[in-house]
Amino acid sequence: MDIALHYAKKLDNQDILNRYRDEFYLLPDIMYMDGNSLGLLSKRAELSLLSILDSWKKYGIDGWTQGEHPWYYFSETLSEMCAPLVGAMKEEVMITGSTTTNLHQLVASFYRPEGKRTKILVDELNFPSDLYAISSQLLLHGYNPEEHMKFVKSRDGNTLIEEDIIESMTDDIALIVLPSVLYRSGQILNLKALTKAAHERNIIIGFDLCHSIGSIPHYVDDWNVDFAFWCNYKHLNGGPGAVGGLFVNRKHFGQKPGLAGWFGSHKEKQFDLETEMSPAPDAGAYQIGTPNILSAAPLYGSLQMFAEVGIEAIREKSLKLTDYMMYLIKEELRDFHFKIANPVDHEERGGHIYLVHEEAARICKALKEHQVIPDFRSPNGIRLAPVALYNSFEDVWNTVQILKKIMTEETYKKYENKRDVVA
C-alpha cells in the first residue's frame, strides 16, 4: 500500500462498486464515516418512498390491496428481498417492528424458564437497549435481573473470547442473546460455533444483527440459529427509524408468539377478527401491529441495490476500505497515541474501525468541524465506518489526513472532552 493520494485514486478507479456512489445523496464536501449508525439516503430509497406516498394519494384505503406494492403484502415483499442478506428462507424472515420491540417479542416467545434453567446469558459489551429489554422480560417473569441476567465478561473491555462465552453456557441458562458484531469494537462473533455449543447444551440462542446486516454475509438457517433481529437504518440505508426485521428458524414454526397481535394472524383469516388468534404459519406470526408502511417504504429501493451487488461483493470492498484505513492510521498517526481496538483479522472484523484515544470526544468534535462525520462512543472510542456502496478510498485518505492535521495542530483542545446530547 501507499500513503500518497494517487494510490487512493487508483483504488477507486479499480473499484467495481464505485459507480454506486452516484446512487446516493452524498453530503457536499463531507467525509461521511457514520454509516454504521445511520446510512445515507439513496435515490432509489427516495423513489420507493414517493411511490408509496403516491399510492396513498391515489387509492386511499384501497392502497392496502391496489397499486404497484399493495400495503397488505408489503412486509412479505421486503422480507423476501432481505432473506438472502441473513441467509434464510423468505418464510423465516419478517420486516416488522423495531430492534427492541422485536427483541421483546422473541424473548417473550422463546424464554421458557423451567426448574433451575431460569437465567438469560448476555454479554457486558452489548448495546444497552438489548439489556434493558431483557431485564424487563425477566421482571415480568418475577425474576431479579441482577441474579438472572448472566454476563459474559470481556477481558480487554473491547472484545469477547469465544471460549469464555461457551464456558458461561451453564445448566442454569434458559436463553442466550448475543450480538453478531459488537457495536463498539466491530468484533464478529462466530455464530455457527456458538449456536452449536448452545444446542449441545439444550439452550435456545438468538443474535442481534444490527451491526452486521448489510455489511457481512450471514447463513443463519444453515447455522441453525434459533432467532435473530435487526434494524434496517444502518448499513441497509432504510432511513431514520426504519422498520426492523426478525428471523425465526423454520423448526420453530407452529409455536405461538409470546406477544400476539392481529397482524401476526394467518393472512386469510386476519380480517375475520375472531376472539382467538390463528397465527401465521411462518415468521409472519411474530408481527404485532399494523405495518409502518411509510417507514418501510425506503427499504424497498435500498434492497434493490443489495440484490444487484450481492453481499459478498459488499463485504470484499468493506474489508479493503477498512484495511486501507488501518494502514493509513498506522503510518500517519503513529505519534499521536491512537489504539486500533477493533480486530484486525478479516474473519473477526465487521464494517467499521474502532479507535481508542483519551481525547476521543474532543477529537470527534474537531473532526465534525473539519467536515468528517465520525461516531463517538463513551468513554474514549471513535468509530469510523467507510461504507462500501457510497464511500471511496479517497474518502478514507482524506479522513486520515484531516485527523492528522487535527492532532498536529492540536485544534481538538478547544473543545470540552465530553459527548454532546446525541453522540
Identify the structural domains of the chain with CATH numbers, from first to last.
5-32+310-414 (3.90.1150.10), 47-308 (3.40.640.10)
Please report the pLDDT score of residue 268 as a whole number.
Answer: 84
100 labelled binding-site residue: yes
Region 105-123: mean pLDDT is 98
Residue pLDDT, tens place only, 288-337: 999 999 999 999 999 999 999 999 999 999 999 999 999 999 999 999 99
Three-class secondary structure of residue 230 per DSSP: strand
Residue pLDDT, tens place only, 199-254: 999 999 999 999 999 999 999 999 999 999 999 999 999 999 999 999 999 999 99
130 labelled binding-site residue: yes
Please report the pLDDT score of residue 71 as a whole number.
Answer: 97
322 labelled binding-site residue: no
Please report the pLDDT score of residue 73 as a whole number.
Answer: 96
DSSP letter at 126 equals S
Cβ-Cβ contacts under 8 Å for 421 (sequence gap 6 or more): none
- Distance CA(164)–CA(156), nearest Å, equals 13
Looking only at Cα atoms, what is the longest distance across the chain? 70
Are the C-beta atoms of 352 and 36 separated by less than 8 Å? yes
Are the C-beta atoms of 318 and 388 separated by less than 8 Å? yes
286 labelled binding-site residue: no
Would you place residue 166 in the very low, low, confident or very high pLDDT band (cuts 50, 70, 90)?
A: very high
- Distance CA(115)–CA(174), nearest Å, equals 10
Dihedral pair phi/psi, residue 117, rounded to 5°: -85, 90
Of the listed ranges 84-93, 263-272, 379-388, the one predicted with least confidence: 263-272
Residue pLDDT, tens place only, 224-239: 999 999 999 999 999 9
- Find cell 435456545 and name the residue: 204
345 labelled binding-site residue: no
Closest CA to 302 of 48, 116, 38: 48
Position 96 pLDDT exceeds 90: yes
Please report the pLDDT score of residue 1 as a whole number.
Answer: 82
Position 136 pLDDT exceeds 80: yes
211 labelled binding-site residue: yes
Region 107-134: mean pLDDT is 97
Please report the pLDDT score of residue 272 as a whole number.
Answer: 79
Position 421 pLDDT exceeds 70: no
99 labelled binding-site residue: yes
Q: Pairing mode, if any, of strands 173-179 and 204-208?
A: parallel
Q: What percentage of the chain has pLDDT greater than the value 70? A: 99
227 labelled binding-site residue: no
- Distance CA(71)–CA(52), nearest Å, equals 9
96 labelled binding-site residue: no
Q: Which three cell numbers stand for residue 78?
A: 421486503
275 labelled binding-site residue: no
**Is this prediction's pTM over 0.85?**
yes
Cβ-count burial of 313 within 10 angstroms (0-12 exposed, 13-18 middle, 19+ buried)?
middle
Three-class secondary structure of residue 100 per DSSP: helix
Please report the pLDDT score of residue 422 as a whole number.
Answer: 59
- 353 φ/ψ sector (left φ>0, alpha ψ -120 to 50, else beta): beta
Closest CA to 388 of 313, 289, 308: 313
- Distance CA(197)–CA(308), nearest Å, equals 35
Dihedral pair phi/psi, residue 15, rounded to 5°: -80, 115
